[in-house]
């Protein structure tokens, strides 16, 4: 959750910066974002089944993360995701909040939550179909598989693939400079109207998503996934 809190503070800064005309979202190090920590030794989920209080806590946490992603999406300035390395799980959901997505060759994408016995839950189920279409969204979400930059370009998840990170950096900066040179009222006004049209029914969908996710996380199957990884074996799912 620390990453989301850092993101929330960065959004505050962007909102207050009246001179900012575009916002670039990038990850430090080798990857854009590899999702939540799935190291079994670091998890609190390998305990007894959760009670009502814990499920309520998960629901509130999911809604909080959704709200931060929504804030990024609603930034008045156009946002550009510069993606490299791994873009997995919540990291991909973060990229989906941006107006533009560019990546470097070799980038790996996935929404792997189904393979961890949980549900994609911070806006990906709502945003992905609107970006790549319902068929590709179902394939990505229900399979939970990894795919490469070329396929991401084919399904229009990203607008362009650059040969390396240096090319990605140059391309993203060029786009940001192009946007910054345009009249901000026109650009930001158009973005606001586009978002209004896209979000008419999303709030209800996200409320249901958070409720459904909190019923499942954590489950016995999720604990089994983590235990199986720790013990280097295949998980045995119970559907519970």
The catalytic position among 15, 73, 113, 198 is 113
Which residue matches tokens 């990546």? 103
Q: What angle do CA 162, 25, 7 make, to 5 degrees?
A: 155
Q: Which of 2, 18, 73, 93 is catalytic?
A: 93
Known catalytic membership, residue 93 = yes
Beta-bridge partner residues of 80? 24, 100
Q: Between the CA of residue 201 and those of 50, 87, 204, what are the distances in Å?
A: 31, 27, 6
Q: Which residue has the tokens 């994408």?
A: 109
- How many other CB atoms are there within 10 angstroms of residue 1's CB atom? 10
Helices (H), the chain: 2-16, 52-73, 90-96, 124-132, 134-143, 149-154, 165-180, 184-198, 202-216, 220-231
DSSP 49: P
Active site residue 5: no
User: What tokens does 76 get?
Assistant: 């008045």
Which residues, at least 6 apart from 117, have a Cβ–Cβ distance to it below 8 Å?
216, 219, 221, 222, 224, 225, 237
Report, as residue numbers or ranges, the catalytic residues: 93, 113
């Amino acid at each position: 959750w620390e990453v989301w809190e850092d993101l929330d503070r960065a959004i505050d800064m962007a909102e207050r910066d009246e001179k900012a005309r575009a916002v670039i979202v990038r990850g430090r190090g080798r990857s854009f974002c590899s999702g939540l920590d799935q190291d079994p030794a670091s998890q609190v989920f390998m305990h007894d089944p959760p009670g009502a209080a814990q499920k309520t806590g998960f629901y509130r946490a999911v809604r909080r993360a959704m709200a931060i992603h929504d804030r990024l999406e609603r930034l008045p300035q156009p946002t550009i995701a510069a993606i490299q390395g791994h873009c997995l799980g919540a990291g991909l959901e973060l990229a989906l909040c941006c107006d533009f997505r560019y990546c470097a060759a070799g980038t790996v994408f996935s929404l792997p939550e189904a393979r961890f016995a949980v549900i994609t839950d911070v806006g990906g189920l709502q945003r992905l179909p609107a970006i790549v279409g319902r068929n590709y969204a179902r394939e990505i979400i229900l399979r939970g598989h990894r795919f490469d930059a070329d396929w991401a370009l084919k399904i229009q998840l990203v607008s362009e693939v650059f040969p390396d990170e240096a090319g990605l950096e140059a391309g993203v900066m060029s786009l940001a400079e192009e946007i910054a040179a345009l009249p901000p009222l026109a650009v930001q006004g158009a973005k606001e109207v586009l978002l209004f049209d896209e979000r008419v029914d999303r709030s209800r969908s996200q409320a249901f998503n958070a409720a459904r996710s909190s019923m499942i996380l954590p489950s016995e199957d999720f604990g089994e996934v983590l235990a199986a990884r720790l013990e280097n074996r295949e998980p045995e799912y119970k559907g519970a």
